[in-house]
Structures are given as structure tokens and as C-alpha cells.
Structure 1
Amino acid sequence: MKKQLIRTFVLFALFLPGVSFADGEHQVFELGNFQLESGEILPSAFLSYVTHGSLNEEKDNLVLVPSAYLGDHHGFDFLIEEDKALSPDRYFIVATDMFQNGYSSSPSNTPRPFNGPNFPTIEIRDNVTAQYRLLTEIFGVSEAAAIVGFSMGAQQAFQWAVSHPNFIRKTVGICGSAIEHPHGSVRLEGFKSAIMTDAGYMGGTYIEPPTIGLEAGGTHWAAWGTSQEWFRLGLYRDMGLDSPEGFIEFFQTFVKSWDANNLIALAATWQRNDIGKTDGFNGDSEAALASIKSDVLYMACETDQYFHIEALKWEAERIPGAKFVVMPSLWGHMAGGGRSADDAKFINDQVTDFLDANN
């Protein structure tokens, strides 16, 4: 079983954000002493990213691709190919890492006094602020062709559309929301608790990884990542696994590859996501949705257990002119990352048509 699991992990990693073997080397943008929305200063902050393609002379072909939870700057590599939606021959793609994912400033790589559980509170808007500085200060652009995000990447995409309404021409949000609705927050609290109740977690001051808690967290993701029908029909066999237990062990191994404090901090950022908290909206999420000016492709998966389709439809109806598309997949939330060939093709076709429209 162990040999089979290792083989499956290597093969499936080609399609899972955060474990890609793409060739791109990540770069680092030094942010200096970075003021967060909370008012705290994160000293010597930095933003990790990779680029694909070239910025054209007009500087109007940039596409921003922010990372997802349990992912990194390689999460959309399946779309970044010559004949795909985000062709480097056509676009200049900038794929960024969120704070707290281990590449950009995170609990795991920040020195005292902000290391580990002492890392300051990060909001989705803090990520957007850092990305805005990257695009304007390093690449000198005043607008971007598009932003494409999955899961927490979609959260960043919608926040961009609110925070900088005249900067992004087209916004694509896949299996993610502009607001974290109550059930999603409760689910994430369960995941955090699975790690934090491990005695080895020690309030985040652990010396060795809290393995028991991380394995419990992996079990959580195994239960929620796909769908009930996915399990009933045995679609885990498409990953080279023989049983649901093999899928659990796969996710346990994957989650154990992450730092516990990074996971908890990222989950807390996810829980607080709400575009209504943007300056000027006083908590009015509907008004923030209505303020979006960019063209929007809002894509949901019909079996997503993280981002319920009715909540996403409710949001899309409040964005002027938004195109709402439902992905017909049994792969649940994982469909949004192109987990199966059918899902990858569906996403590629939808994003291609959307980016090509009115251009």
C-alpha cells in the first residue's frame, strides 16, 4: 500500500495545486515594512511569484493568477500552455503566492517576534495590496487583461474587482466566493480544531510537526474535497487508488507536507473573507458586489461541498452582467483545479471563450 500511495502521490501531484513539477522558478518581490489592514507592520515582508510569457509593448496583456489554499504559484499550470486559455504566447501571466503559504511571508519563514503563532492577522485585501504593488512597481502596468483564481484565488479575484474596479478588465472566479458564508466558516473551524487539539501542537510553539493533528486535518479534506457520488462510484480509482481509505491516506500525506501554523493562519484568512469589509462599504457586501465594473465569469461546481452553489448564484446575481456557469462534475471542489481531464477541458473552454469575447 505504501508504494502504491507514493506512486499515486507523484502522479496526482501533477494536477494538484502546490505539488506541481513545473519548470518555473519562483521570484521574490521585497515589500519592505508592509502595513497590514489591521494596522500592524510586517517587517521585511516579501511576495513570491512566477511569470510566463512576455509583457507586450502596450503593457495590456498581463493576467494575474493568485494561489489557492493548499496551493502555490503552479496551481493553474494546466491552463498555462501554448494552446490553452492562458497561452504565454498571448499573455504575460503573473502567478502569485498568498501570504502564509510558505513561499511568501508566512508563520514558517518569518523571524521573531512574528514567527509561528505570533504571525499577524492577514486579510484577503492584504494579499491584493501586495499584488497591486508588484504589478505597478515591478511591471509598471496601469491595468490588467484579467485575473483568474480558484478557491481562495477566486476570493482574491473578487476582492481585486472591488478594491481596484478600473484595473482589471476581466475577472474569473472558479469554485470560490466573494463572501465566506457561515457554513464554510464552521467547516474550516473543524479543520483548524483537528490540528490544534493535537497535544503536540502546543499552541503553535511545536518543535516537531503535530503529525496526529495534521493527519486528522488530512482526513477532513478527504471527506470534503470531492462529493458523495464521487465516492459511491469509486472515482478514487481514477487516481490509482483502490479504496476510500487510500484517498484518506493520500490527503493525510499531503497535508503533512505543510506547516501547521501556515495552514491555520490561511484558514483564518479564508474564514474572514468578505468584500463588504472593503473601505467605503461599511460591511455592505451586496453594495460591494454591485460596485464591480469588470466583466465577470463566475464558475461553480454543482457538487462543491466547500462553496455551495446557491450561495455562489446569490452572489453572481448581484454582480452587474456577471456570467454564471455551473461545472457538471462529480469531483466537487477539486473540479475547480482541473482534477479530471473533463474538468480541465471545461474550465479551459469557458475561460478561453470568456477572455476572447469582446476583444
Structure 2
Amino acid sequence: MNLYRYAGQTLCALLAMMSACASMAAEQQLASIGSLTMTGGKIKQCSLGYRTYGTLAADQGNVVLVPTWLTGRTADQVDLIGPGKLIDTDRWYVIALDAIGNGVSCSPSNSKTHPRLKFPEFGIRDMVKAQHRLLALTLGIDHAHAIVGISMGGMQALQWAVMYPDYASKVVTIVGTPQPTAQDLQVWRAEMSAIERNPGWNNGNYAPGTVFRNLTALHTESLWTPEHAAARTVAAKQPTEDRLHGTQTSQSFSAVDWYRQLQAMTTFDLVRDGGMATLSGKIKARMLIITSEQDRLVDPAPSKALAAQKRNTRLLVLDNDCGHMAPVCEMKKVDQAVKDFLE
């Protein structure tokens, strides 16, 4: 179980109150997109993972793209995508996209020619460039109705809106950001440091089965508020998934992949070349921005500032003690907002 998968598992539990939760994702697919030049260099061969759900309309007007979050894989999105779910496959044709560096798409952990830290550094921009190539060359999709991303997936959605402003009509970013703040960078770099300082790290050449306890503890702490963590401790005798997540001491997600994806997040900044007004002018898509007021992993301030600059943008601010996981704690509200916006 990787840490971010908890969001999907908790969501499944919530949705189970209303309907049965699917147990399997659509079939994993893998496509070669050839060589790829990234921020830190070029790799000769890159493959991207993806899954498709629903039925493609004759005019291709019902396509929704869903990129993955930090440490996420499309298999972890099973409880977000499907009939009646957050992205309803009775209505939309969904293409879930495995981001570079997630262990499914070309990654430090699975590259034969560029293993471990020989795999070049990459950015959010590189993830999106690769996805665009996959859609154009393999799937023949030249336009999307919407792109929906959570956390690092939200960063990819915004990068899509800037790099390919005519590609998607709508963009939904959930606890993402257009620009990391000093607070964000401090947390993300602390996770990188937890990886680097692990006794078994060995500059990325760690032995199979090496446990990164400090990393998982730090990440878990960042996902929630102290108030929520305290409440969880009080209820620790209850056999909840919350407790399982809180006591997780290892992860199935490769640490070297985690490290490179964190690097991608720390170098992401859509406001670097101008102010928020300049960024707003680059985005043609209508936006739904969902933030968490008490988020300790991704500061909501830049997202709210972008919403204030962009006309016809819907902003939903969640204010509960679940921190970065606020959308899971208020899933009904998020579900309704996304469904209304996509129509």
C-alpha cells in the first residue's frame, strides 16, 4: 500500500455507503512514445502507462484526462473513475495517465538503459509533453473536454492548460497549485532529505526491501492536520483504515521514483515568467479550483490567487481538519462540484 492510495481506499469506503465500489481497474496498457528529451537529459526509449474507461463518442467530445498524483498509479484511481463516481464513465470517456516516474511509465526504477539516478531529472512539463505525444500518436485524441487532476495531478492539469491552451475546454485542479510556496518547498525538500539520509539509500542504489520509515512518517504527517492526527490517536483502538495509514512504515512505491517526482514538483512554477495575471491570460480553459484551507502539503494561497484573477473560474474552498486529504473527508461536496462543472 503506498501512502496516496489511501485516498482512493477511503473514498471507496465512503462511496460504498451509496453504491458498490469497483474492485478492479480497467486493463493496464503501455505504449512506446520513442525517445524523450527531459529537463536533465535524453532517454532513448520511454513508454507511458494508461487506462481507458467508458465509450468514446463519435465526435470524441466526451474525453476526460486524469493524470496521477505523487506516488500514484492509475491502478490507484479505480475508486475515482467509474459509473456514478467522481468521474462518471456512463457519461465520460476517461483516459487515466500514469505520470513519468511512477514505476509504470518510464521511470528510474524500471529503466534498463538509465536505472536509478542515471535516469535524468524531469519536470511536470516533461510529464505533460509525454502525455500529449501519447494522445496524439497512439490514441488519436486531439482534444479533451476536461482534464481532472489531484495534487501533483492538478499541477499537470494546469501545465496542460499553459502548454496546450486549446487542447482542453475545462480544467479541474484539486489540492494542486500553479506555484509552490516556500512552505511547500520546505515540506517537499524535507521528504527528499529523508530519502537521502536514509542509511540504506546509497545514492539511489539501495537494496531491495529497504524501508524508508522517516519518509513515510513525514509524508503521513504532512497529509493531515495535527488536530486530525490527535483525533486519530484517541480513536486508535478502532480498526480503521485511518489507523493503518498512520502506522504504515514502508511503501510499495520505489523511493528513487518518489525522489525524482519530488524533484519535478520542486522545480514546477507556472508563475515564474510573470505574475498571476500573466498566467491567467495564458489559460483559455474554464477552471474549477478546489483547495483545502488547512492543507499542510500544498499551500492553497496560489490556487486561490489564480481563481481571483481568472474570470469564469469556480473556486471551492474546503475547510476541515483533514488537511491535504480534505477532499476525501468532504467527498460528497467535491463529487457534486466536479459533476456540475463537467456538464
Question: Shared fold by TM > 0.5?
Answer: yes
Percent identity at matched positions?
27
Gap runs ≥5 in structure 2: 13-21
Quick one: distance in 1 between partners of 2:78 and 2:115? 31
Q: CA deviation at 1:321?
A: 2.7
Distance 1:283 1:26, change over 3 A: farther
In structure 2, the residue matched to 1:295 is 286
Quick one: distance in 1 between partners of 2:340 and 2:78? 18
Q: Residue type matched to 1:263 in 2?
A: W
Q: Is the 8 A contact 2:178 2:302 kept in 1?
A: no
Q: Is the 8 A contact 1:201 1:209 kept in 2?
A: no
Distance 1:274 1:285, change over 3 A: farther
Q: Is the 8 A contact 2:179 2:302 kept in 1?
A: no
In structure 2, the residue matched to 1:224 is 222
In structure 1, the residue matched to 2:47 is 46
Secondary structure of the residue aligned to 1:350 is helix
Q: CA deviation at 1:142?
A: 2.2
Q: Which of 282, 302, 308 is matched with 1:317 structurally?
A: 308
In structure 2, the residue matched to 1:352 is 339
Q: CA deviation at 1:196?
A: 1.1
Q: CA deviation at 1:230?
A: 1.0
Secondary structure of the residue aligned to 1:121 is coil
Q: Is the 8 A contact 2:171 2:285 kept in 1?
A: yes
In structure 1, the residue matched to 2:96 is 95
Greater mean deviation of Cα atoms: 149-158 or 232-241: 232-241
Matches within 5 A, 1:16-95: 21-38=23-40, 40-95=41-96
Distance 1:242 1:67, change over 3 A: closer
Distance 1:106 1:239, change over 3 A: farther
In structure 2, the residue matched to 1:154 is 154
Quick one: distance in 2 between partners of 1:244 and 1:73? 22
Quick one: distance in 1 between partners of 2:299 and 2:226? 14
Q: Is the 8 A contact 1:184 1:307 kept in 2?
A: yes
Matches within 5 A, 1:87-166: 87-112=88-113, 114-166=114-166
Q: CA deviation at 1:13?
A: 6.5
In structure 2, the residue matched to 1:3 is none
- Residue by residue, what CA displacement relative to the aligned partner does 1:1-60 show, whole Å, maximum 9, x if unpaired? xxxxx9xx999873379xx9523221011011122245x221210100111012111011
Determine whether 1:265 maps to 2:252: no
Q: Is the 8 A contact 1:200 1:209 kept in 2?
A: no
Secondary structure of the residue aligned to 2:70 is coil
Distance 1:237 1:148, change over 3 A: farther
Gap runs ≥5 in structure 1: 1-5
Q: CA deviation at 1:344?
A: 2.0
Distance 1:287 1:240, change over 3 A: farther
Q: CA deviation at 1:284?
A: 5.3
Secondary structure of the residue aligned to 1:149 is strand
- Residue by residue, what CA displacement relative to the aligned partner does 1:81-105 show, whole Å, maximum 9, x if unpaired? 2223422121110001111110101
Distance 1:310 1:288, change over 3 A: closer
Distance 1:239 1:261, change over 3 A: farther
Greater mean deviation of Cα atoms: 54-63 or 322-331: 322-331
When normalised by structure 1's length, the TM-score is 0.84
Q: CA deviation at 1:275?
A: 1.9
Distance 1:34 1:328, change over 3 A: same
Secondary structure of the residue aligned to 1:203 is helix
Q: CA deviation at 1:289?
A: 3.0
In structure 1, the residue matched to 2:231 is 233
- Residue by residue, what CA displacement relative to the aligned partner does 1:67-126 show, whole Å, maximum 9, x if unpaired? 0012111444333222234221211100011111101011000013x1101110111111
